[in-house]
Amino acid sequence: FLDPISTGFFVTTAASSTFFMLAEITGLTSLRCKINFMECCNKHHIKPNFTGLEYDLKNKLYGQDLVFTTVLRSVKSHIENPNPSKALVMSFHGWTGSGKNYVTQMIVNNLYVKKLRSSFVHVFNAEVDFKHQSQLQHYKDQLQIWLHGNVTKCGKSIFIFDEMDHMPEGLVDAVKPYLGNNPSIHGVDYRKCIFIFLSNTGGKEINKKCLETWRSGYSRSTIKLSDMQELLERVAFNDKSGFRLSGIVEKNLIDHFVPFFPLEREHVEKCIKDEIKKLNLKRQILSSEVNEIMDELQWIPTDLRLYSKSGCKRIAQKVGLVLAT
Ligand SMILES: Nc1ncnc2c1ncn2[C@@H]1O[C@H](COP(=O)(O)OP(=O)(O)OP(=O)(O)O)[C@@H](O)[C@H]1O
């Protein structure tokens, strides 16, 4: 039998050496995080910069007033809340080239030090990652295992699902259990995560609403988020897309359906000027050159030519084309 006194000493000595060992390990880990040797799920590598996000959304994103307020407020309130009741789930809808990926990048860039290269930022492209409807069950299983693994590593992860219009029907419901109010699923808490879905679904309806507002003589800034929520929810649930008949829409697990409006001439002109600025040309740009670039784009509706058919996509190529000649 061990003597109680020496046992006490043994326990104390063992405990203190374990304590020093742990301190050394954690100290080393913290040092490794600080010197960027490894990415850590803490304040060294997850540094929300709301001033930066507000600046980017206000100054670099054109024609999307609703997106500005919805995204800024929802991201800020979710991250500042020490105990969010559920993961933040946003679904971005709109015409091609209207800024959905661009805004997603702004969010990532202002939250994670390593930006898109962060191992806590996960991007799926339905067209690439979930190509085959026949592998639906396999994708579902993989997605769940994978979500569990990644959120175990870092509870403040962000998941981006691009091209939702091309996702096999039924697949998105694999993430449904993680979007609700469950404090823990198999020991993992998903409530600090952010999920963003991107799609063109509802783009036509958004454009139609903007056009009707324009025809009635009102500015599109009079359109409220609440005017669009029900419409987008309905279109997402019924139209052919990854959301069709999905439980996450039915059970109201998407916090915000965010509409991206089509870009008008004044917005596209700003995109063109931004692209030209990047070229660092040593001469003034003529307004005739800007108009020439605008003419290279297609405009809809064809009779009114109000909105760019490709938004601000392909602007760099058109700038190159016109200025190189
Ligand atoms: N509203 C905007 N304000 C300023 N620049 C924009 C805007 N929308 C798009 N751009 C520019 O156009 C590029 C392409 O836009 P983006 O990839 O975000 O479009 P998208 O809406 O995601 O399109 P898609 O539906 O085809 O994926 C951006 O990288 C950005 O440079």
Q: Is 313 in the pocket of ligand 1 (CB under 6 A)?
A: yes
Give the pLDDT of residue 162.
96
Q: Return the pLDDT at 12.
A: 41
Asked whether 311 lines ligand 1 (CB < 6 A), one says yes
Look at residue 17 in the predicted model and tell me its pLDDT. 54
Output the pLDDT for position 15: 53
Q: Is the pLDDT of residue 41 over 50?
A: yes
Note the pLDDT of residue 8. 37
Ligand 1, atom 18: closest residue by C-alpha: 99
For ligand 1, whether the C-beta of 262 sits within 6 Å is no
- How many residues belong to the chain? 325
Assess whether pLDDT exceeds 60 at residue 271.
Answer: yes
Contact by Cβ (8 Å): 144, 138: no
pLDDT at 3 over 90: no
CA of 88 to the centre of ligand 1 (A): 22
* pLDDT (mean) for 46-69: 97
H helix or E strand, kind and range, residue 124: strand 121-125
User: CA–CA separation, 32 vs 39, rounded Å?
Assistant: 8
pLDDT at 26: 60
Other residues' Cβ atoms within 10 Å of the Cβ of residue 132: 9
pLDDT averaged over every residue in the chain: 90
Q: How many CB atoms lie within 10 A of CB 90?
A: 23
Here the tokens at position 41 are 């799920």
Q: Where are the alpha helices (DSSP H) in 154-202?
A: 176-179
pLDDT value for 18: 57
How many angstroms does the Cα of residue 16 sit away from the middle of ligand 1?
57
Q: How far apart are CA 202 and CA 97, in angstroms?
A: 14
Arithmetic mean of pLDDT, 233-254: 92
What residues contact 168, with CB distance under 8 A and at least 6 apart?
A: 126, 130, 132, 133, 136, 139, 242
In this prediction, residue 109 carries a pLDDT of: 98
- Tally of CB atoms within 10 A around 177: 16
Name the range with the highest mean pLDDT among 23-32, 285-294, 306-315.
Answer: 306-315
Q: How far apart are CA 291 and CA 282, in angstroms?
A: 20
Q: Is 202's C-beta closer than 6 angstroms to any atom of ligand 1?
A: no
* 242 CB within 6 A, ligand 1: no
321 CA distance to ligand 1 middle (Å):
19
Whether ipTM > 0.95 holds is: yes
Of the chain, the percentage scoring pLDDT greater than 90 comes to 78
Q: Does residue 36 register a pLDDT over 80?
A: no
* pLDDT for 1: 34
Q: How far is the CA of 26 from the centre of ligand 1 (A)?
A: 42
Long-range pairs of 220-224 with CB within 8 A, sequence gap ≥ 24: 220/261, 221/65, 223/66, 223/259, 223/261, 224/66
Mutate to test the pocket of ligand 1, among 96, 102, 108 (most ligand atoms within 8 A of CB): 102
